[in-house]
Amino acid sequence: MPYDHVQNRPVTIALVQMSCTEAKQPNVEKALARIADAAAKGANVVCLQELFTGPYFCQSEDHRWFGEAEPIPGPTSERLAAAAQKHGVVVIGSLFERRAAGLYHNTAVIFDADGRQAGVYRKMHIPDDPLYYEKFYFTPGDLGFQSFETKFGRIGICVCWDQWYPEAARLTALAGAEIIFYPTAIGWLPAEKDEFGASQHNAWETMMRSHAIANGVFVAAPNRVGREGSLQFWGGSFVSDPNGNLIAKAGHEQEEILLAKCDLGLIDVVRTHWPFFRDRRIDAYGDLTKRYLS
């Protein structure tokens, strides 16, 4: 056995795929119940979908939604911390953060299994597309791409639109992440679904599986589900291993707690067989900091 030096490091992760209503507290209560259910089923790390406390409000530009933002620490983050401590699991929650007057972020907060805040990630790439008017609400993140040490491994977080950028995944992996979580809110325009739906979903999943391969990490993406306004969120939450293989995948229609067993020891094996980090030409990549090469 050529890799008998590699130790098995089993971790069970859970992705919460759920629908959301306009009222905040029922969504928070549902998420807390799902965390408890996931822990009872053996999960060590539980990740909620993007902006789980309410509907995906970025379908329009409406100042009233700023009233739903919270500081971190704040009421919802404190409840997530308490759930992490109570159930002995790592919890990742995506929140609308009120950092200061007039300064808001799309932020993921990570709580270790003892309830301690292990880290904060602020979404770096902010879209502005039809029904995804996030630039109206969110300031781009200023904390960079990070990883966070937890009881069950070193975790990296990116959020939704970040998932299309190989630079984000690479820098998060270079920061030491063993699992990159992508809390997500993405769906179909019903009028376009028949013609473009399969292609759109396939591109989304393929992109993140490619990040797993290129960086030798596990990738996990919890997405919301259900119809909200003009969007039909496509669910399809999944976990990929470092070879890009799907090891768990949720359906497109229903709420689910998706469980996946991950052996973090596999990362060393895969990176030794496919030594992409070893062969990177770091001396030749300076132009990546330019907008375009003409």
Handedness of CA 201, 202, 207, 211 (dihedral sign): positive
**Token pair for 196:** 């473009």
Residue 6: Cβ within 10 Å count: 16
* Whether 103 contacts 110, CB under 8 Å: no
**Which one, of 271, 213, 209, 262, lies nearest residue 242 by Cα?**
213
**Which one, of 29, 35, 30, lies nearest residue 13 by Cα?**
35
Q: Could you give the 3-state DSSP secondary structure of residue 237?
A: coil
Strands (E), the chain: 10-17, 45-48, 90-100, 103-111, 117-122, 128-129, 132-133, 148-150, 153-157, 179-181, 187-188, 218-221, 225-228, 231-234, 238-240, 246-249, 256-263
Residue 252 phi, psi (nearest 5)? -95, -15
Distances (CA, A) of 85 to 70, 75, 111, 245: 21, 16, 9, 32
Please identify every residue annotated as catalytic.
50, 123, 160
**Token pair for 168:** 């984000």
Whole-angstrom distance, CA of residue 106 vs CA of residue 111? 17
Peptide bond before residue 26 is cis, with ω within 30 degrees of 0: no
